[in-house]
Amino acid sequence: MAHKHYILPSAGSRCHVMGILNVTPDSFSDGGRHAAAGAALEHAKAMIAEGADIIDIGAESTRPGAVAVDATAEWARLEPVLEPVIALGVPVSIDTYKAAIARRACALGAALINDVWGLQKDPAMADVVAEAGVPVVMMHNRLEADASIDILSDINRFFERSMELAERAGIPRARQVLDPGFGFGKTVDQNYLVLNRLESLAKHGLPILAGASRKRMIGAVLDVPTEERLFGSLAVHLLAAERGAVIVRVHDVRPHVEALTIQAAMRREAGAGEPVRTGH
Protein backbone atom coordinates (compact mmCIF):
# COMPACT_ATOMS: atom_id res chain seq x y z
CA MET A 1 0.00 0.00 0.00
CA ALA A 2 1.40 3.41 -0.91
CA HIS A 3 1.50 5.65 2.11
CA LYS A 4 -0.51 8.84 2.32
CA HIS A 5 2.30 11.40 2.13
CA TYR A 6 2.61 13.81 5.00
CA ILE A 7 3.51 17.32 3.88
CA LEU A 8 5.01 19.50 6.59
CA PRO A 9 3.27 22.85 7.21
CA SER A 10 4.48 25.71 5.03
CA ALA A 11 5.65 28.98 6.53
CA GLY A 12 2.70 31.08 7.66
CA SER A 13 0.10 28.29 7.56
CA ARG A 14 -1.70 27.00 10.64
CA CYS A 15 0.42 24.91 12.95
CA HIS A 16 -0.46 21.26 12.29
CA VAL A 17 -2.24 19.17 14.90
CA MET A 18 -1.06 15.60 15.47
CA GLY A 19 -3.74 13.59 17.27
CA ILE A 20 -2.55 11.00 19.79
CA LEU A 21 -3.89 7.46 19.45
CA ASN A 22 -2.49 5.21 22.18
CA VAL A 23 -3.23 1.50 21.71
CA THR A 24 -1.54 0.66 25.00
CA PRO A 25 -2.92 -0.55 28.34
CA ASP A 26 -0.67 1.77 30.37
CA SER A 27 -0.20 5.19 28.76
CA PHE A 28 -0.20 7.96 31.37
CA SER A 29 -3.33 9.79 30.20
CA ASP A 30 -5.56 7.38 28.30
CA GLY A 31 -4.02 3.96 28.90
CA GLY A 32 -6.39 1.17 27.94
CA ARG A 33 -9.12 3.48 26.64
CA HIS A 34 -8.37 2.80 22.98
CA ALA A 35 -6.47 -0.49 23.24
CA ALA A 36 -9.24 -2.45 21.48
CA ALA A 37 -9.07 -2.10 17.69
CA GLY A 38 -12.69 -0.94 17.37
CA ALA A 39 -12.29 1.75 20.03
CA ALA A 40 -9.03 2.90 18.45
CA LEU A 41 -10.63 3.23 15.02
CA GLU A 42 -13.57 5.21 16.38
CA HIS A 43 -11.22 7.55 18.24
CA ALA A 44 -9.17 8.08 15.08
CA LYS A 45 -12.36 8.91 13.15
CA ALA A 46 -13.37 11.39 15.84
CA MET A 47 -9.98 13.14 15.77
CA ILE A 48 -10.09 13.37 11.97
CA ALA A 49 -13.58 14.87 12.16
CA GLU A 50 -12.19 17.46 14.58
CA GLY A 51 -9.50 18.45 12.07
CA ALA A 52 -6.41 16.39 12.92
CA ASP A 53 -3.73 16.75 10.25
CA ILE A 54 -2.01 13.51 11.22
CA ILE A 55 -2.74 10.59 13.56
CA ASP A 56 0.12 9.37 15.76
CA ILE A 57 -0.31 5.74 16.85
CA GLY A 58 1.70 4.48 19.81
CA ALA A 59 1.75 0.85 20.88
CA GLU A 60 4.31 1.14 23.68
CA SER A 61 3.90 3.55 26.56
CA THR A 62 6.77 6.00 26.98
CA ARG A 63 5.50 7.49 30.24
CA PRO A 64 7.99 7.63 33.14
CA GLY A 65 8.29 4.21 34.74
CA ALA A 66 6.55 2.37 31.91
CA VAL A 67 7.57 -1.23 31.32
CA ALA A 68 9.29 -1.71 27.96
CA VAL A 69 7.74 -4.20 25.56
CA ASP A 70 9.47 -6.19 22.84
CA ALA A 71 8.79 -5.73 19.15
CA THR A 72 6.51 -8.77 19.00
CA ALA A 73 4.18 -7.40 21.68
CA GLU A 74 4.30 -3.89 20.22
CA TRP A 75 3.38 -5.15 16.75
CA ALA A 76 0.57 -7.31 18.15
CA ARG A 77 -1.02 -4.13 19.53
CA LEU A 78 -0.33 -2.04 16.45
CA GLU A 79 -1.20 -4.38 13.60
CA PRO A 80 -4.99 -4.64 14.13
CA VAL A 81 -5.47 -0.86 14.06
CA LEU A 82 -2.81 0.30 11.61
CA GLU A 83 -4.38 -0.50 8.23
CA PRO A 84 -7.94 0.49 9.24
CA VAL A 85 -6.69 3.87 10.48
CA ILE A 86 -4.52 4.40 7.39
CA ALA A 87 -7.59 3.63 5.27
CA LEU A 88 -9.34 6.67 6.77
CA GLY A 89 -7.20 8.79 4.46
CA VAL A 90 -5.25 11.01 6.87
CA PRO A 91 -1.46 10.53 7.18
CA VAL A 92 -0.52 8.18 10.01
CA SER A 93 2.56 8.52 12.20
CA ILE A 94 4.05 5.64 14.19
CA ASP A 95 5.39 6.43 17.66
CA THR A 96 8.23 3.90 17.98
CA TYR A 97 11.99 3.71 18.49
CA LYS A 98 12.26 0.19 17.07
CA ALA A 99 13.42 -0.22 13.48
CA ALA A 100 11.54 -3.50 13.04
CA ILE A 101 8.24 -1.81 13.91
CA ALA A 102 8.98 1.18 11.70
CA ARG A 103 9.82 -1.06 8.73
CA ARG A 104 6.61 -3.09 8.99
CA ALA A 105 4.45 -0.02 9.60
CA CYS A 106 5.86 1.87 6.62
CA ALA A 107 5.34 -1.19 4.43
CA LEU A 108 1.64 -0.99 5.32
CA GLY A 109 1.41 2.72 4.59
CA ALA A 110 2.59 4.71 7.62
CA ALA A 111 3.56 8.24 6.54
CA LEU A 112 5.90 9.32 9.33
CA ILE A 113 8.05 7.84 12.10
CA ASN A 114 8.05 9.53 15.52
CA ASP A 115 11.16 8.31 17.39
CA VAL A 116 11.34 9.34 21.05
CA TRP A 117 15.06 8.51 21.04
CA GLY A 118 15.93 10.54 17.96
CA LEU A 119 17.38 7.64 15.88
CA GLN A 120 19.83 6.92 18.72
CA LYS A 121 18.25 3.87 20.40
CA ASP A 122 18.07 1.39 17.53
CA PRO A 123 21.09 1.54 15.19
CA ALA A 124 18.97 0.33 12.26
CA MET A 125 16.28 3.01 12.59
CA ALA A 126 17.90 5.72 10.43
CA ASP A 127 18.41 3.32 7.52
CA VAL A 128 14.82 2.05 7.77
CA VAL A 129 13.45 5.62 7.66
CA ALA A 130 15.70 6.48 4.71
CA GLU A 131 14.59 3.40 2.77
CA ALA A 132 10.91 4.10 3.47
CA GLY A 133 11.22 7.67 2.23
CA VAL A 134 9.09 9.09 5.06
CA PRO A 135 9.76 12.02 7.41
CA VAL A 136 11.05 11.35 10.92
CA VAL A 137 10.53 13.22 14.19
CA MET A 138 13.76 13.08 16.20
CA MET A 139 12.96 13.74 19.85
CA HIS A 140 15.40 14.66 22.61
CA ASN A 141 15.38 12.23 25.51
CA ARG A 142 17.30 11.41 28.67
CA LEU A 143 17.12 8.38 30.94
CA GLU A 144 16.54 10.65 33.92
CA ALA A 145 16.26 14.33 34.76
CA ASP A 146 19.26 16.21 36.15
CA ALA A 147 18.55 19.69 37.50
CA SER A 148 22.25 20.57 37.44
CA ILE A 149 22.78 20.39 33.67
CA ASP A 150 22.36 23.03 30.97
CA ILE A 151 19.34 21.41 29.33
CA LEU A 152 19.52 23.51 26.16
CA SER A 153 23.13 22.50 25.56
CA ASP A 154 22.15 18.89 26.17
CA ILE A 155 19.30 19.17 23.64
CA ASN A 156 21.51 20.81 21.04
CA ARG A 157 24.22 18.14 21.37
CA PHE A 158 21.58 15.43 21.10
CA PHE A 159 20.05 17.02 18.00
CA GLU A 160 23.47 17.35 16.33
CA ARG A 161 23.97 13.62 16.83
CA SER A 162 20.49 12.78 15.51
CA MET A 163 20.97 14.96 12.44
CA GLU A 164 24.36 13.35 11.82
CA LEU A 165 22.78 9.88 11.94
CA ALA A 166 20.00 11.02 9.60
CA GLU A 167 22.46 12.54 7.13
CA ARG A 168 24.68 9.47 7.17
CA ALA A 169 21.67 7.26 6.38
CA GLY A 170 20.55 9.54 3.55
CA ILE A 171 17.43 11.05 5.13
CA PRO A 172 17.00 14.44 3.41
CA ARG A 173 16.79 17.47 5.67
CA ALA A 174 13.36 18.14 4.17
CA ARG A 175 12.18 14.98 5.98
CA GLN A 176 13.69 15.74 9.39
CA VAL A 177 11.73 17.22 12.32
CA LEU A 178 13.07 18.06 15.79
CA ASP A 179 11.15 17.62 19.06
CA PRO A 180 12.65 19.00 22.31
CA GLY A 181 10.89 16.27 24.27
CA PHE A 182 8.79 18.07 26.87
CA GLY A 183 8.46 15.84 29.91
CA PHE A 184 11.23 13.43 28.91
CA GLY A 185 14.23 13.48 31.26
CA LYS A 186 13.62 17.07 32.33
CA THR A 187 12.60 18.82 35.52
CA VAL A 188 9.50 21.01 35.48
CA ASP A 189 11.69 24.12 35.47
CA GLN A 190 13.77 22.77 32.58
CA ASN A 191 10.61 22.15 30.55
CA TYR A 192 9.63 25.79 30.92
CA LEU A 193 13.13 26.97 30.14
CA VAL A 194 12.98 24.97 26.90
CA LEU A 195 9.54 26.40 26.08
CA ASN A 196 10.76 29.93 26.74
CA ARG A 197 13.83 29.42 24.53
CA LEU A 198 12.19 27.32 21.83
CA GLU A 199 13.11 29.83 19.15
CA SER A 200 16.79 29.11 19.81
CA LEU A 201 16.32 25.66 18.25
CA ALA A 202 15.62 27.35 14.89
CA LYS A 203 19.38 27.51 14.38
CA HIS A 204 19.27 23.85 13.31
CA GLY A 205 17.14 24.85 10.33
CA LEU A 206 14.52 22.13 10.83
CA PRO A 207 10.80 22.16 11.72
CA ILE A 208 9.94 21.85 15.41
CA LEU A 209 7.26 19.62 16.96
CA ALA A 210 6.01 20.36 20.48
CA GLY A 211 4.18 17.77 22.56
CA ALA A 212 3.23 18.78 26.09
CA SER A 213 -0.36 17.54 26.12
CA ARG A 214 -1.59 16.78 29.68
CA LYS A 215 1.99 16.34 30.94
CA ARG A 216 3.33 16.83 34.45
CA MET A 217 4.84 20.22 33.55
CA ILE A 218 1.22 21.42 33.33
CA GLY A 219 -0.12 19.52 36.31
CA ALA A 220 2.73 20.74 38.52
CA VAL A 221 1.88 24.40 37.83
CA LEU A 222 -1.91 24.19 37.83
CA ASP A 223 -2.25 21.43 40.45
CA VAL A 224 -4.87 19.59 38.41
CA PRO A 225 -5.15 15.88 37.53
CA THR A 226 -4.24 14.55 34.10
CA GLU A 227 -7.76 14.67 32.67
CA GLU A 228 -8.14 18.36 33.61
CA ARG A 229 -5.07 19.68 31.79
CA LEU A 230 -6.65 20.77 28.50
CA PHE A 231 -6.45 24.50 29.16
CA GLY A 232 -2.85 24.27 30.31
CA SER A 233 -2.02 22.16 27.25
CA LEU A 234 -3.57 24.78 24.98
CA ALA A 235 -1.54 27.53 26.64
CA VAL A 236 1.75 25.66 26.28
CA HIS A 237 1.11 24.70 22.67
CA LEU A 238 0.05 28.21 21.63
CA LEU A 239 3.22 29.58 23.23
CA ALA A 240 5.23 26.90 21.44
CA ALA A 241 3.61 27.81 18.11
CA GLU A 242 4.42 31.49 18.73
CA ARG A 243 8.03 30.44 19.28
CA GLY A 244 8.30 28.44 16.07
CA ALA A 245 6.69 25.02 16.52
CA VAL A 246 4.92 23.92 13.32
CA ILE A 247 3.34 20.72 14.72
CA VAL A 248 1.78 20.08 18.12
CA ARG A 249 1.04 16.58 19.40
CA VAL A 250 -2.20 16.55 21.39
CA HIS A 251 -4.94 14.47 23.00
CA ASP A 252 -7.64 17.10 22.45
CA VAL A 253 -7.80 17.88 18.75
CA ARG A 254 -10.68 20.31 18.18
CA PRO A 255 -9.68 22.88 20.83
CA HIS A 256 -6.16 22.98 19.41
CA VAL A 257 -7.30 23.21 15.79
CA GLU A 258 -9.59 26.13 16.65
CA ALA A 259 -7.06 27.97 18.83
CA LEU A 260 -4.30 27.56 16.25
CA THR A 261 -6.65 28.64 13.44
CA ILE A 262 -7.29 31.88 15.35
CA GLN A 263 -3.55 32.30 15.78
CA ALA A 264 -3.05 31.77 12.03
CA ALA A 265 -5.74 34.36 11.31
CA MET A 266 -3.78 36.85 13.40
CA ARG A 267 -0.67 36.10 11.37
CA ARG A 268 -2.59 36.44 8.12
CA GLU A 269 -3.91 39.83 9.19
CA ALA A 270 -0.34 40.88 9.92
CA GLY A 271 0.57 39.89 6.36
CA ALA A 272 2.70 36.93 7.35
CA GLY A 273 0.45 34.05 6.48
CA GLU A 274 -1.62 32.23 3.92
CA PRO A 275 -5.43 31.96 3.75
CA VAL A 276 -6.62 30.23 6.90
CA ARG A 277 -8.72 27.09 6.75
CA THR A 278 -9.77 24.66 9.44
CA GLY A 279 -9.33 20.95 9.01
CA HIS A 280 -7.25 19.76 6.09
Is 249 designated active site? yes
- Type of residue at 44: A
Grouping H, G, I as helix, E, B as strand and the rest as coil, residue 248 is strand
Non-local (6+) Cβ contacts of 278 within 8 A are 51, 257, 258, 261
Query: What are phi and psi for residue 111, nearest 5 degrees?
Result: -105, -10
The secondary element (H helix, E strand) that includes residue 254 is helix 253-269
Is 215 designated active site? yes
Q: d(Cα 139, Cα 70) in Å, to the nearest integer?
A: 20
- CA distance readout (Å), 4 to 37, 42, 107, 127, 174: 21, 20, 12, 20, 17
Non-local (6+) Cβ contacts of 30 within 8 A are 20, 22, 251
In 150-256 the beta strands, taken as DSSP E runs, fall at 176-179, 208-210, 245-250
Catalytic residue among 77, 175, 243, 249: 249
Cα-Cα end-to-end distance for the chain? 22
Query: What are phi and psi for residue 57, nearest 5 degrees?
Result: -100, 125
Catalytic residue among 215, 229, 243, 267: 215
What is the DSSP-derived secondary structure letter of residue 143? Answer: S
Tell me the catalytic residues.
215, 249
